[in-house]
Amino acid sequence: MENSIATLIAIDKKARETSEAASRKAEEILEAARAEHESLVRENAEKLKAQTNERIAELKAASDREIAEAENAADEKCRRLDEKMAAKRDSFKKEIVGRILTTG
């Protein structure tokens, strides 16, 4: 009977050691999974930030081009208006002076 009890104690001890080892291994696996998750979160955040910055740069370049085109178009319209005004300056002067002299 003593031999059976010693065998049962040895089996129990071995089972406890195996259970403790399994618990430690499970904690190691969980910790590794947490670390991997945190690493992936950081990596994804960095990728998203890089993509966002790239997209912002693209949008800024496109808007800068559109602004430049609008400014060029406005400058061209002003240039044409200046040309028309310069071409008709003398006739405008004569008309204005004539109206002032005839109404006064």
pLDDT over 60 (residue 104): no
- pLDDT tens string 14-60: 999 999 999 999 999 999 999 999 999 999 999 999 999 999 999 99
Q: What whole-number distance in Å separates Cα of residue 42 and Cα of residue 37?
A: 9
Report which of 65, 85, 67 is spatially closest to residue 75, judged by C-alpha positions: 67
Supply the pTM of this predicted model. 0.56
Q: Where are the beta strands (DSSP E) in 5-100?
A: none
